């Protein structure tokens, strides 16, 4: 089965994180706050990757689950809770930001099995 890639703007239809997400260690509050600061300064440099949520019968629910970018989703929720997101905030897909290759996080030391440490 090959994946079909569709670029679509999803605003309020995101239900949460996907169980298929590769990251199994939760994001710490400090890491989410730091990522929120990075997004506020540089903008969202990478979009979220989502998949349709399906019910037990396999029918789509109309919501989406984040498979890649759960930290960015949590950081945006953090910013929204603090009323830091403006309606005039530019769409990251059209920003042309030269910092795109930098990503939104400073590099952290990686554990040999794939998770970062120190946690957070």
Checking if the pLDDT of 19 tops 60, the result is yes
Total tally of structural domains belonging to the chain = 1
Q: Report yes or no on whether pTM surpasses 0.85.
A: no
Domain coverage including residue 23:
14-85
pLDDT in tens, 82-91: 988 876 665 5
Q: Which pLDDT value is given to residue 30? A: 93
CATH number, residue 81: 3.90.1530
pLDDT in tens, 22-61: 888 888 999 999 999 999 988 888 888 888 899 999 999 8
Phi, psi of 53 (to 5 degrees): -80, 140
Q: What is the distance of C-alpha 12 from the center of its chain?
A: 14
Q: Is residue 104 part of a domain?
A: no
Q: Is residue 119 part of a domain?
A: no
Checking if the pLDDT of 118 tops 60, the result is no
Q: Is residue 79 part of a domain?
A: yes
More confident residue, 67 or 119: 67
Q: DSSP labels for 20-41?
A: T-S--SPPPHHHHHHHHHHHHH
């Amino acid at each position: 089965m090959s994946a079909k890639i569709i670029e679509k703007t999803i605003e309020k239809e995101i239900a949460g994180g996907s169980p298929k997400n590769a990251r199994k260690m939760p994001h710490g509050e400090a890491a989410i706050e730091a990522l929120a600061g990075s997004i506020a300064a540089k903008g969202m440099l990478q979009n979220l990757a989502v998949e349709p949520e399906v019910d037990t019968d396999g029918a789509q629910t109309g919501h989406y689950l984040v498979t890649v970018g759960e930290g960015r989703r949590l950081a945006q929720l953090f910013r929204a809770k603090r009323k830091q997101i403006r309606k005039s905030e530019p769409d990251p897909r059209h920003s042309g930001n030269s910092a795109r290759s930098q990503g939104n996080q400073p590099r952290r030391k990686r554990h040999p099995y794939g998770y970062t440490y120190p946690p957070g």
